[in-house]
Structure formats: C-alpha cells, structure tokens
C-alpha cells in the first residue's frame, strides 16, 4: 500500500481524517458504499453514537478539502423512518 505523503501532510493534526484515509486506501478498488458502522468499527470510535457521526462527517469533509474524496454522504432509511 503506497500512501500519498502530501495528503498525510495536509491532514496533520487531523487524526481521524488520517485514519480514515489509511482505511480507505487499504480497501480493494471500488469498495463504495461504506457504511458508518463499518468505519466506526475500523476506527474503533468509543464516544456516543451522535458524536461518532460528527467526527466521521468532519473527517470526510477534511478529506474532501484536500481533494482526496469527492461525493456525498447518503443517509439510509432504516425501518421506513
């Protein structure tokens, strides 16, 4: 796995974004869609669920800001709600 060091440098002091970048890079090509549940398990987040979601959304925004990700977060409907 070859990580792009300029992306890692741009994400300095943004540990969750770095971890998410490393996780995505380790996946096979075209692993999308990724569920928040899978990301939470991989990043071993232990805070309350709503805070975990905020942390992941912020990391995704940071990865978009450095040009690594492009796309949208889609909320899946569960049990018709």
Q: Over the stretch 26-44, which tens digit does the pLDDT of each residue have? A: 888 876 688 889 999 999 9
User: pLDDT, tens digit, for every residue of 66-81?
Assistant: 998 888 888 876 665 5
The Cα 35–Cα 40 span in angstroms is 9
Helix axes 36-43, 49-65, angle to 10 degrees: 90
Question: b vs e for 35-55, b when ≥16 Cβ sit within 10 Å of the residue's Cβ?
Answer: ebeebbebbebeeeeeebbeb
Model-level pTM?
0.79
Q: Where are the domains of the chain?
A: 10-65
Rg (alpha carbons) of the chain, rounded to whole number: 13
Task: Check residue 51 and give its pLDDT.
Answer: 96
Task: Check residue 1 and give its pLDDT.
Answer: 46
User: pLDDT, tens digit, for every residue of 5-23?
Assistant: 778 788 888 889 999 998 9
């Amino acid at each position: 796995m070859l990580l792009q060091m300029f992306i890692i440098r741009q994400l300095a002091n943004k540990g969750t974004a770095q971890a998410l970048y490393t996780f995505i890079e380790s996946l096979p090509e075209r692993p999308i869609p990724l569920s928040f549940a899978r990301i939470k398990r991989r990043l071993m987040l232990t805070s309350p669920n709503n805070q975990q979601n905020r942390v992941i959304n912020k990391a995704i925004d940071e990865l978009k800001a450095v040009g690594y990700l492009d796309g949208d977060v889609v909320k899946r409907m569960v049990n018709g709600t």
